[in-house]
C-alpha cells in the first residue's frame, strides 16, 4: 500500500474485493477526478489483474457498476506514465525540472487532453500522488 495515504472502509472493501477477484496484489486504490475507480497494482501484476482479454476488468465493472482503470505501479516516472495513459501511445515522454511533457501519437492527442483539459488534469493529479512533479503537459 502507498505510504502516507489513508483509506476509508468502503475503499478497503473494494481493494479486498479486487485482490480476491483477480489474485493481483494492489499498491493503491482511489477514485480519480473523473469518477473512475483506479486500481494501481504491484509491478508485474498487470496481466493477472486485467485477465485474459480484459475479462477481470469487465467482470469487476459489472459487479461494482463503476468504470475502473488498472495501472501498473512503477518507481520509474516515464514507465508509470506510459501505463497510466494506456491505450494511448506517446511518441516521447520528457522530464525536465519536474515538468513532464508528453508528445502523443496524433490519434491519441485529443483523448489525452480531454474536453477542457480534464483528462490531462486528471493524469497530472494521479502522477503527483506518487512523484514530485510541478506540471504535466501534452504537446
The pLDDT of residue 4 is 67
pTM, two decimals, is 0.91
Closest CA to 39 of 70, 11, 63: 70
% of the chain at pLDDT higher than 70: 97
The neighbour count for residue 89, using CB atoms within 10 Å, is 12
Written as nine digits, the cell of 37 is 475507480
What phi and psi values does residue 65 have, to the nearest 5 degrees?
Answer: 55, 45
Over the stretch 21-76, which tens digit does the pLDDT of each residue have?
Answer: 999 999 999 999 999 999 999 999 999 999 999 999 999 999 999 999 999 999 99
What domains does the chain contain, in order, with CATH numbers?
9-72 (3.30.300.20), 77-138 (3.30.300.20)
CA distance 66 to 54: 15
Residue 1 has a pLDDT of 52
Report DSSP state, residue 86.
Answer: T
Distance CA 4, CA 103 (A): 32
Amino acid at each position: 500500500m502507498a505510504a502516507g495515504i489513508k483509506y476509508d472502509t468502503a475503499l478497503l472493501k473494494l481493494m479486498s474485493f479486487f485482490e480476491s477477484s483477480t489474485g493481483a496484489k494492489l499498491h493503491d486504490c482511489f477514485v480519480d477526478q473523473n469518477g473512475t475507480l483506479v486500481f494501481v497494482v504491484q509491478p508485474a501484476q498487470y496481466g493477472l489483474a486485467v485477465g485474459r482479454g480484459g475479462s477481470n476488468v469487465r467482470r469487476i465493472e459489472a459487479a461494482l457498476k463503476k468504470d475502473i482503470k488498472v495501472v501498473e505501479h512503477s518507481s520509474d516516472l516515464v514507465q508509470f506514465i506510459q501505463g497510466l495513459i494506456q491505450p494511448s501511445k506517446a511518441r516521447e515522454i520528457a522530464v525536465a525540472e519536474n515538468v513532464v511533457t508528453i508528445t502523443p501519437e496524433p490519434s491519441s492527442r485529443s483523448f489525452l487532453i480531454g474536453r477542457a483539459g480534464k483528462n490531462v488534469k486528471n493524469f497530472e493529479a494521479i502522477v503527483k500522488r506518487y512523484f514530485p512533479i510541478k506540471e504535466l503537459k501534452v504537446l
